A and B are shown apart, each in its own frame.
Chain A
Amino acid sequence: MRSFRAFVTKEWKHIFRDKKTLLILFGMPIAQMLIFGFALSNEVKNSKIAILDASRDATTQALIHRIDASKYFDIATYLDRKDQVEEIFKKGEVRMVVVFENGFEHKLKSQNEGHIQLIADASDPNVGSTLVAYLNAILQDYQNEILHPSKIPYSFKTEVRMIFNPQLAAAFNFVPGVMAMILLLICSLMTSVAIVREKEMGNMEVLLVSPVRPVLVIVSKTIPYLFLSFVNICSILLLSYFVLDVPVKGNLFLLLTISLLFIIAALSLGMFVSSLAQTQTTAMFATLVGLFLPTLMFSGFMFPIDNMPLPLQLVSNLIPSKWFFYMVKSVMIKGLGIADIWKEALILLGMTLFMVTVSIRKFDKRLKL
């Protein structure tokens, strides 16, 4: 045990001597949380649109004014001819063109019909369809006003209540998601590199034949990172609570426990990568290029997992951040307890055990050969 402590101390000194790395290690998650917490949102707003108004009468002016007043649209320009539509879309700034037919007001009054055409740049299908829906709603409002309705008979009232997040803040979804991403990548990057560096430098053999068991050699390398990551998670939580206004509705202790569990999972993932990789370059490449996008896409915070084809839904189960995201969301935002997340916690624990076992086997085998 004493020699194990010595090992940990050695690693500890090793890390703390390198001030630059430490600075990056602590500063980076904080900066990322702040940037993404404020900047990321699925919402579509301030979209630039163009107006093609052949009529230029009081009604079209009133409608244009309404559109401009909405937070979803910024009128960027007015067009004169239909063939300018394609031109302006190709430049890429304008997302939609609203076309009022010639003599709009006149036709609306004499024939009771005014035609409006919405042409959306649907190269981004999400933005395209959302903007059409929003503009439709604005026009519908206007329609209802010109109909002057008294009470409509035979109608029912509908109330929609938003639960867990009444203000529809984007951060409620993105903060747990970004947390799951940053932690997984930082932890696994750090450990995988720390272990592989010894391999690359040729020190591994020396370490493995030392009187301390190979398992403990590996573990001693991860302990300082466990501590550092825990400090990171605390700073992230403080930030999200005090700066980003994301609540912690559930038990803080439970939240910290699952975070710790996730950190251990991420560290063991790093261990796992390092048992396979021979050089630091390979290890980093595998972690960064190999894990970044899959983690981003399969965690469930960016893209709903229900929408994916079944095989990919199965793949998503292999991504540790998916389970962590679910648990953080449940505890932090919904205020649920251990009874509702124990299954996910067990899955994460199982993954951790699997990765640790396989990597230790690998290191043991190295020694025997």
Chain B
Amino acid sequence: MRIIWSIIQKEFAQFFRDKANIRMLLVMPVVQLILLPMAADYEVENIKICIIDQDHSEYSRRLIQKIEVNHHFILVNQTADYREALKMMESDQADIALTLPHFFERDVVLNNEPSISASVNAVNGQRASIGGQYLLRILNDFNREIRLEWIQFPRYNPMPLLRIEHSYWFNPTMNYQQFMVPGILVILLTMVGFTLSALNLVKEKELGTIEQINVSPIRKYHFLLGKLIPFWILSFVVLSLGLLVAFIVYNIVPSGSYLLIYLFASVYLLAVLGLGLLISIYTETQQQTMLLSFFLMMVFILLSGLYTPVESMPEWAQMTTWFNPVAYFVKVMRMIIMKGSGFTDILPHLLSVLTMALILISWAIAAYRKKA
């Protein structure tokens, strides 16, 4: 125990000697956590629409006005030329080009079914299909309005109607930040802990100082635990800072308990740090370590369900989330913070991450060879 303690002291002393470390560990994550969630909003809004009005009638003007006041759309241009609209779409100045044909009003009145066409920039397919749906809804509403002016409907509906109500639980205001802040915090915590632990050991290798440790009477699990514990503690500092930022800047208070977050984090960090150590055991230079870490981090993060929902991934990709600690923590953070999930709700995830932690750390201890 005394030996582990002295290694920990040595690691801390080494860490704090470099001012750059402190800046990176404390300032960078905090700044990112303050800024980045504001950028994370994929709601389809600000759809830039360009209208090619070939009719110039009262109806076309009314429709344009309807689109203008809808909060999803921004009317960027009215033109008579489709090619000009297409040019605007090519340069991303417009997302949709809507053509109101000649004799639009006359055709409606004469019951001739005029056809309105919309071209949607579909490079981003999801945005295009939702944007198209919003536009269709406005057009349908407008159509109904016109129809009502021409046909007198009976006072009450004689036909069977489905009355659909909907409610949004846990986030009635549809606040994206509530959703993104916990996820981004997980990512920052993971990257910090993982890179620190992965780089540290391999640095000793590269500088040759590991040889001295290898010939010293320290046991290898002493050494590895001595490497792991300081970063575990530092990661907790980052987590606490992050939760503080979430509260001060975004006013996020977990509906569940802080204790549960820390409990899960303590196990999670063991898994992440263990993986970092394992990688540094199998690599020789910091460059290699970094490339491998970057690869794993990117896969872990992009497939974690933080940005794109897991269930819309192909099956093999969904299966990778069983072995992806980040996926568990992102999910659990959101569960605890937004829904107030309790211990029994997160228990299966906790056990999975615990298993990972045990396997990774024992593997690291087994794989580390003291070449005396």
Chain A residues at the B interface, C-beta cutoff of 8 Å: 18, 20-21, 24-25, 28, 31-32, 35-36, 38-48, 86, 89-92, 108-109, 112-130, 132-133, 136-137, 139, 142-143, 146-147, 152-170, 172-173, 181-182, 185-186, 189-190, 193-194, 197, 277-282, 284-286, 288-290, 292-294, 296-298, 301-304, 306-309, 312, 315-316, 326, 329-330, 333-334, 336, 340
Q: Is B161's CB under 8 angstroms from A288's CB?
A: no
Q: CB within 8 Å of A: which residues of B?
A: 18, 20-21, 24, 28-29, 32, 35-36, 38-46, 48, 86, 89-92, 104, 107-109, 111, 113-130, 132-133, 135-136, 139, 143, 146-147, 150-151, 157-172, 174-176, 178-179, 184, 187-188, 191-192, 195-196, 199-200, 203, 283-288, 290-295, 297-299, 301-303, 307-309, 311-314, 317, 331, 334-335, 338-342, 345
Instruction: Name the A residues within 8 Å of B165 (CB-CB).
Output: 115-118
* Cβ-defined contact, A132 with B166, below 8 A: yes
Output the least CB separation between A172 and chain B (Å). Answer: 6
Partner of A120, one of B162, B167, B196, B301: B167
Q: Which residues of A contact B91 (CB under 8 A)?
A: 340
Partner of A92, one of B132, B146, B196, B335: B335
A111 CB, min distance to chain B CBs, angstroms: 9
User: From A196, which residue of chain B is reached at the shortest CB distance?
Assistant: B286
B130 touches A156 (CB 8 A): no
Majority secondary structure of chain B interface residues (helix, strand, loop or mixed): helix
Known pairs A114-B160, A117-B167, A154-B147; A165 contacts B125 (CB<8 A) = yes
Known: A48-B311, A285-B24. 15 other contacts (CB 8 A): A39-B302, A43-B125, A43-B312, A91-B345, A115-B163, A119-B169, A123-B334, A128-B168, A142-B162, A152-B147, A153-B151, A161-B119, A164-B122, A303-B40, A316-B39
In the complex, the answer to whether A159 meets B116 with C-beta atoms within 8 Å is yes
Assess whether A284 is in contact with B128, with CB atoms less than 8 Å apart: no
Q: How far is the CB of B279 from chain A (nearest CB, A)?
A: 11
Bound-state Cα–Cα, A152 to B42, Å: 36
Residues of chain B within 8 A (CB-CB) of A288 are: 191, 195, 290, 293-294, 297
Q: Is the CB of B312 within 8 A of A193?
A: no
Interface core residue of A40, A48, A137 (most chain B CB under 10 Å): A40
Bound: A125/B128 CA distance, A? 18
Q: Indicate if the CB atoms of B345 and A92 lie closer than 8 Å.
A: yes
Instruction: Please state if B174 and A123 are interface contacts (CB–CB under 8 Å).
Output: no
**B35 pairs with A315, CB closer than 8 A:** yes
A40 contacts which chain B residues (CB < 8 A)? 302, 308, 313
Bound CA span A119–B283, Å: 50
- A312 to B303 alpha-carbon distance, docked (Å): 25
Across the interface, A112 reaches (CB within 8 A) one of B119, B160, B288, namely: B160
- Our pick among B113, B125, B191, B338 for the contact of A123 (Cβ within 8 Å) is B338
| A20 and B162 form a contact (CB under 8 A) | no
Chain A residues in 8 Å Cβ range of B29 = 289
Pick from B168, B175, B345: contact of A90, CB below 8 A: B345
CB pair A173 B125 closer than 8 Å: yes
How many angstroms from the CA of A233 to the CA of B355 in the assembled complex?
39
Q: Which 9 A-B pairs have the closest CB atoms?
A: A168-B125, A122-B168, A42-B126, A39-B317, A162-B122, A118-B166, A165-B122, A123-B338, A125-B174
Q: How far is the CB of A328 from chain B (nearest CB, A)?
A: 11
Smallest CB-CB separation from A134: which chain B residue? B133
Contacts of A168 in B (CB 8 A): 122, 125-126, 128-129
Q: With a CB–CB cut-off of 8 A, which chain A residues contact B157?
A: 112
> With a CB–CB cut-off of 8 A, which chain B residues contact A109?
160
Q: With A157-B114, A165-B122 known to touch, is A38 a contact of B314 (CB < 8 Å)? A: yes
Which A residues are in CB contact (< 8 Å) with B89? 163
Contact across chains for B41 and A307 when beta carbons are under 8 A apart = yes
In the assembled complex, the Cα of A185 lies from the Cα of B297 at a distance in Å of 12
